[in-house]
Amino acid sequence: MIRLTGLTKRFGATPVLNGIDLTIEQGERVVVIGPSGTGKSTLLRCINFLDRPEAGTIQVGDLTVDAAHASRAQILGLRRRTAFVFQNYALFANKTARQNITEALVTVQRRPRAEAEARADAILAETGLTEKADSFPAALSGGQQQRVGIGRAMALDADLMLFDEPTSALDPEWVGEVLDLMRRVAERRQTMLIVTHEMQFAREIADRVIFMDGGRIVEQGPPAQIFEAPQDERTRSFLRRVTR
Amino acid sequence: MLGLVPILLGYLPLTLFMAVLSMACALVLASLLAMERVARIPVLDGIVVLFISFFRGTPLLVQLFLFYYGLPQVMPFLTNMTGVQAAIIGLTLHFSAYMAESIRAAIIGVDRSQWEAAEAVGMTRTQMMGRIVLPQAARVAAPTLVNYFIDMIKSTSLAFTLGVTEMMGATQKEAAGSFLYFEAFIVVALIYWAIVEALSFAQKRLEFSLNRAFTR
């Protein structure tokens, strides 16, 4: 189970997260929507301390961290219980597709190389990238790079997978294949927290949709409720704008 | 004149020994200095900045004289230091200061999102630097570092001022013994030139292999 309480983050004097409380059950798939600049990405980045929250607690599985007094070991612990998919893929440019997946399995999880490579090959097959196993990121299309990025995150067997606008940087022609892969991940009841602007996708795969505005959770509920019968005026006006 | 070539080449191993050993030590030291400059560890950062400033701000020849002739007067345990040792220490410190700056620039040049990706998969700082950042920084820094190595090889000739008979020292002796100054110095110049040309060829091969991952 994932539990955030009172998670607070400011950039200088500007508050970005205003005490976020959120509980995510094991196997739950939660999609975060909302206008840009409302702290959606920051929320994800605070959970694994890519951005350092000022206050609040973060619980992932058996580890609970007080954000204000997080030790280096605790931060490492959170990162090793979560996996992150970046908007701009952020693949290791000096590693092949296969090495991008095996890297953390070998260096962080200390798994035997043969086992890590078998796992990587299974994931490459699943993501349709077997032929690209030995290609470096520079030689892959945006869609292929992001599939490797998701594969790298899948391989970690994390308690929570975080997706930070995984299709926003993609050319439209590659969006479909990336969403298809995310659908397959979701079908396995992997616990997921996804920030996206793909409303149709959110409606399909989410167990719960969260609408954020101004660093707060304004409204949340099953996709049918949020998309068909939003309660808050801000949610309604946002959905009118994005669904036209 | 050509008779000089084998004589001088006999001293080439010592020249190369000083250059290679100094370069290896300088690479290690410069990487440490560069990583400190990126991490900005309190107190240590001030010392590193001062170190780089001093060794970039004073002539190599002055530094060599300071190590070999000066320091033993205030630190008696250095009295037994040989000219070769002093030259290697001097070259190492001097060039590490320059190389630290180019390595630092190369480290900063590595795409920030890859640092984050390394953190996100749970790597320690050491793993991140060693597995992801430094290998990519090496590619960027390689041409400059080879340049410094070329400079280093030529700078070993200054060891002759510390009484070391390396290639330059041997040339000086041959020239003084035969009065054939032009012949002696043109031969030694050509030998240095040939070494540097060979190195430039190796540089192209090195860059090709380092760039392998980044070409389509």
SS3 B164: coil
Q: What percent of chain A has pLDDT over 70?
A: 100
Distance between CA A39 and CA A51 in Å, rounded?
11
Q: How confident is the model at residue A243 (pLDDT cuts 50, 70, 90)?
A: confident
Place of tokens 């041959």: B174
Three-state secondary structure readout of chain A: CEEEEEEEEEECCEEEEEEEEEEECCCCEEEEECCCCCCHHHHHHHHCCCCCCCEEEEEECCEEEEHHHCCHHHHHHHHHHEEEECCCCCCCCCCCHHHHHHHHHHHCCCCCHHHHHHHHHHHHHHCCCHHHCCCCHHHCCHHHHHHHHHHHHHHCCCCEEEEECCCCCCCHHHHHHHHHHHHHHHHCCCCEEEECCCHHHHHHHCCEEEEEECCEEEEEECHHHHHHCCCCHHHHHHHHHHHC
Specify the length of chain A in residues. 244
CA distance B139 to chain A (A): 10
Q: Alpha-carbon distance A101 to A121, whole Å? A: 9
CA pair distance B96, B24, nearest whole angstrom:
10
What's phi and psi for A157, nearest 5 deg? 50, 50
Task: Select from B121, B125, B215 the residue whose CB has the most chain A CBs within 10 Å, as the one to mutate to test that interface.
Answer: B121
Q: Which of B123, B127, B213 sits opposite A138 (nearest CB)?
A: B213
Structural domain that includes position A15: 2-243
Find the mean pLDDT for residues A76-97: 96
Contact A107 B113 (CB under 8 A): no
Q: Looking at the predicted structure, is the pLDDT value of residue A139 above 70?
A: yes
| B124 interaction partners in chain A (CB closer than 8 Å) | 76
Interface confidence (ipTM) of the complex: 0.93
According to the model, what pLDDT value does residue B4 have? 85
Chain B residue with minimal CA distance to A102? B121
Tell me if A83 sits within 8 A of A150, measured CB to CB.
no
Q: Are A151 and A116 in contact (CB under 8 A)?
A: no
Mean pLDDT within A118-137: 95
User: Is the pLDDT score of A212 beyond 90?
Assistant: yes
In degrees and rounded to multiples of 5, residue A89 shows phi and psi of: 70, -50
The C-alpha atoms of residue A25 and residue B82 are separated, in whole angstroms, by 70
d(CA B115, CA B173): 55
CA distance A230 to chain B (A): 34
pLDDT, tens only, A140-187? 999 999 999 999 999 999 999 999 999 999 999 999 999 999 999 999
CB-CB contact of B106 with A40 (8 Å): no
Q: Which CATH number characterizes residue A228's domain? A: 3.40.50.300
- Size of the A and B interface in Cβ pairs below 8 Å: 71
| Domains contained in chain B, CATH given | 13-161 (1.10.3720.10)
What does the pLDDT average to over A109-136? Answer: 95
Interface test with B, best of A48, A51, A82, A94 (most B CBs within 10 A): A94
Dihedral (Cα; A208, A214, A215, A217), 10-degree rounding: -30
pLDDT tops 80 at residue A123: yes
Question: What is the distance between the alpha carbons of residues B17 and B211, in angstroms, rounded to a whole number?
Answer: 29
Q: Kindly tell me if the per-residue pLDDT of A84 is higher than 80.
A: yes
In terms of C-beta density within 10 A (0-12 exposed, 13-18 middle, 19 or more buried), how is residue A244 classed?
A: exposed
Looking at the complex, report in whole angstroms how far the Cα of residue A80 sits from the nearest Cα belonging to chain B.
5
Residues of chain B with pLDDT under 50: none
Using alpha carbons, list the distances in angstroms from residue A142 to A147, A166, B120, B204. Answer: 9, 11, 20, 31
Which residue's structure tokens are 């170190």? B51
pLDDT of res. A4: 96
Q: Which residues pair with A14 in a beta bridge?
A: A11
What is the per-residue pLDDT for A244?
A: 65
pLDDT of residue B216: 59
**Nearest-by-Cβ selection for A138 from B117, B135, B214:** B214
The number of distinct structural domains making up chain A is 1
List the single range of A69-73, A90-94, B181-185 with lowest mean pLDDT: B181-185
Query: What is the predicted pLDDT for the residue at A159?
Result: 95
